Amino acid sequence: MNSTSSSWVGCVIGGMALLIGGAAFAHDPDDGIVDVPEVSIVGTRPVAASSQQFIPDKEILLQPQGRPAQILRLIPGFIAVEHSGGAGKADQYFLRGFDADHGTDVAFYTDGMPINLRTHAHGQGYTDLNFIIPETIEGVDVSKGAYLPEYGDFATAGAVNFRTRQVVQEGVAQAAGGQFDTQRYLLMFSPTKERVRTLFAAEGYYTNGPFENGNRYFRTNLFGKMTTNLTGRDELSLTGTFLKSQWNGSGEIPFRGVTDGTLGRFGAIDPSEGGNTLRSTARLNYHYDTTSGGQFFANAYGQYYRLDLFTNFTFFLNDPVNGDGIQQSDRRVIYGGDLGYKQQGEVLGLPTTGTVGFQTRVDDIHVRLGTQTTRMPTGTTTDSNILEASYAPFVKVEVEPTPWVKLVGGLRAETFTFDVRNRCTSCAEQPAGRTSSGIVLPKMNLILGPWAGNEFFANYGEGYHSNDARSAVSPGSSPLARAKSYEVGVRSKPWGPEGVEVTATLWRVDLKSELLFVGDEGTTEIRGPSRREGVEVAARGQVWGPLQVNGSVTWTKAEFRNGDAIPLAPELIGYGALLLRWPEGLTSQLQATYLGERSLIEDRSVKSPSWITFDLSERYQLPVKLSQGRLEAFLFIQNLFNTEWEQAIFSFGSQRRNEAAPVNDIHFVPGNPRMVMGGISWYF
C-alpha cells in the first residue's frame, strides 16, 4: 500500500472512531424537543492561536472605497499593493515574509468557497478580490500559519475567509465621486428579513487613475443571497455573484526613465497594457443541528472565470521591432464542495468536540500564453487544456481537560490528480502528461488560560501549496510544496474585558524545495528550501470613551536555507489607526501603513525603499429629517500627505527602444498620489 492510500485509510479509521465516540456521548435522539426563544449572545470568538482573529464589519466600512483588498491591511502584518498600474488585476500580497505574488501562499475564501485559482495563466493561486462588494461583508475570519485542518491548498502563510451578510436592516443607495474621474455607485437592500432572508447588492465603479494614459477601469458587480430555515434546526443559504471589468494598465516602469526625465512617474512605455475579466459564482451552504449536540454540514459551489491580460515587462529586450508584449488567457470552470459532521459532548468525562469532513475541488482549465503587439496576437508560446482535481478528508478534535487547558488537533490528507494536454503542436517541449500526488498534514494546538485576562498558545501545523499542473507533470517535480509552521503567543486584556487587547506572537515557517511555473515566460524555475521567522505585536480596542485604536508591527527574517535573501520578502510591516466617534454623528479615522526595505535580489545588493502613507476617513450622519430613512455623508482622503511611494517593485533586465543593450534596473508601479473621494448614502 502506498503512502497516499495509507493516509486515506488512516483518516477513514479516525473518522469512524470519532463518529462512534460521538454516538457514545450523544443524547437519546428520542428525547423531547423544547422550543426556546431566540437569544443573542455577544462574546469573544474562541481562537486556536494568538494570531487568529475576526475583523468585524464596522472596521471594514471605514476603509477607502475602490479596492476591496484595502480590507486586508486590517490584518496584522498583511499588505496588498497594485501590481501593474491598473486596478483591475489581482493585487500582490505580502504576509509573514512571503511575497505571495497574487496568492500562492495565502488561501482566500468567501463563505468557505475557495477564491485562489490553481494553474492560472498569470500565476499559481491567482486571487482577484474585485468581485467582492465590501458592504456585503459582515466580517473576516483570519488564520495565520497552517494550524487548522479545515484549510488546505495555499494556506501556508495563512487563510482569509470573507463572511457575507444574510440581511441588512436598512437598505442603502450610495453615490460617490472623486479625483481622476473616479465614480462609485452602490445599491443594497433586503426585500425579506424573517423566515426567508434575502440580500441583493449592485456596484458600479469607474476610474482613470493618476496615470498619463487613463486606466478607463470599469467594474460591475452583482450579489444575491437567500437564506432560510427549512425546519427549526437547519439553515440553507444560496449565494450568487457576478463580476465583469476591463482596464488599461501603465505597467511596471524602469527607474532609469524617471531619473533621466524621459518618462513621467505616472507614464508608460507600452500604454496598450491592461485586460478584461469575468467571474460568476454560485454557492450553497447548509447545516442541520441534531438534538444530540451534533451538526451536519454540506456546501457546494460552482464558478465560471475568464481573463485576458496584456503586459510587457521587458519592452524591446527580446523583439527589438515589435516589442515583448505577451497575452495570457485563462478560461475555466470550477466546481466542488465539502460535507461533514460535528459532534459536541463528553469523552471520558472531558468536554469534547469532534469533526469529520471531506472536501473536493475540480478545475477544468484552458490556459494560453502568447506574444502580442498592441493587443494583437502574434504567436503562441504555450496552449494547454488541464484537468486538476483534489480530494481531502480531515479530522479535527477539541478537548478541554481542565477549564484552563484546551487541546485542538487534527489530521488532513490531500490527494491531487493532474492531467495536462498540449494544444500547441508548434510549441516545442511543452509539458504534458498525467500524474498524482498526496500529502498528510498533522495539526496541533495548545491553549492555556485565561488567567486574569491572559491566554497562552503553542501551535504546530503542516500545510502546503500546490504547484502549477504544468510543473507537476514534469519529471522530478514536487507537485505539493510542504510548509511546517511553528508559533507561540499570548493574548492579553490588561485593562479589563472591555479594554484594549494586546497580542504578541513568535513564529516560524519552513518551506520545502519546490518547482515554480513562471506564467509570464512559460518556464519552470527551481527554488530551494526556505525559512521565514519573525515576531508580531498588535493592539486593538477601546482606549477611552469614543477613542479606539488598532495597530500592529511585524518583523520578519526570510532566507533560503543557503543564506540567500528571498527577493521581495517584507522585513518590517506596520499599521496604525486612531478612530474617534464624535458627538452629533461624526466618525473620524486616521490610518497609517508602513512597508520597510526589501531585498530585490538574492545577494541583497539591491533594495526597495521603505514608505509610509496616511489615509483619513470621515463619516457624518446628516441631521436631515426624511419621511423615510436617513442620510450619511462620507469623505476619504488617501495618501493624505501626498507621499511618493512605490507599490509593486522588482529588479530585472529590460531594454527600451532607444537602448543598444539590456539594462538591469529597478522597475516599479508608482503608488497613488493624494486622492480625495466623497459621497452621500441614503439609508432606507
Note whether 264 and 255 are within 8 A (CB).
no
Interval 648-658: pLDDT, tens: 999 999 999 99
Residue 248's SS3 state is strand
Residue 532 lies in a domain: yes
Residue 185 lies in a domain: yes
Quick one: pLDDT at residue 524?
58
Quick one: pLDDT at residue 321?
94
Q: In Å, what is the CA distance from 98 to each residue of 128, 143, 504, 508, 509? A: 18, 15, 20, 12, 10
Residue 29 lies in a domain: no
Residue with cell 500592529: 552
CA angle 413–468–67, rounded 5-degree value: 95
Residue 35 lies in a domain: no
Q: How far apart are CA 227 and CA 111, in angstroms?
A: 13
Note whether 416 and 390 are within 8 A (CB).
yes
Residue 38 lies in a domain: no
Closest to 3 (Cα-Cα) out of 390, 355, 441, 509: 441
Q: In Å, what is the CA distance from 171 to each residue of 224, 333, 411? A: 14, 33, 44
Residue 250's SS3 state is coil
Per-residue burial over 440-476, b = 16 or more CB atoms within 10 Å of its CB, e = otherwise: bbebbbbbebbeebebbbebbbbbbbbbbbbbbbbee
Quick one: pLDDT at residue 528?
84
Sort 124 into a burial class: Cβ within 10 Å, 0-12 / 13-18 / 19+: buried
Note whether 373 and 322 are within 8 A (CB).
yes
What is the rounded (10 degree) CA torsion for 446, 450, 454, 459?
Answer: 10
Residue 40 lies in a domain: no
Quick one: pLDDT at residue 498?
85
Return the C-alpha cell found at 292: 444530540
Residue with cell 432606507: 684
Return the C-alpha cell found at 328: 495570457
Domain membership of residue 151 as a residue range: 3-23+45-683
Helix H or strand E encompassing 70: none
The CATH number linked to 521 is: 2.40.170.20
Residue 28 lies in a domain: no
Structural domains counted in the chain = 1
Quick one: pLDDT at residue 22?
39
Residue with cell 516589442: 323
CA angle 109–111–114, rounded 5-degree value: 30
Quick one: pLDDT at residue 651?
93
Q: How far apart are CA 117 and CA 123, in angstroms?
A: 9
Which segments in the chain show pLDDT lower than 70? 1-45, 514-524
**Half-sphere exposure of 225 toward its Cβ, with a 13 Å CA cutoff?**
27
Cis peptide upstream of residue 479 (ω within 30 degrees of 0): no
Q: How far apart are CA 73 and CA 575, in angstroms?
A: 7
Beta-sheet pairing, 106-110 with 158-164: parallel
> Global pTM?
0.92
Contacts of 129 (CB under 8 A, 6+ apart): 68, 69, 90, 91, 108, 115
Residue 30 lies in a domain: no
Residue 333's SS3 state is strand
Instruction: Provide the 8-state DSSP code for 487.
Output: E
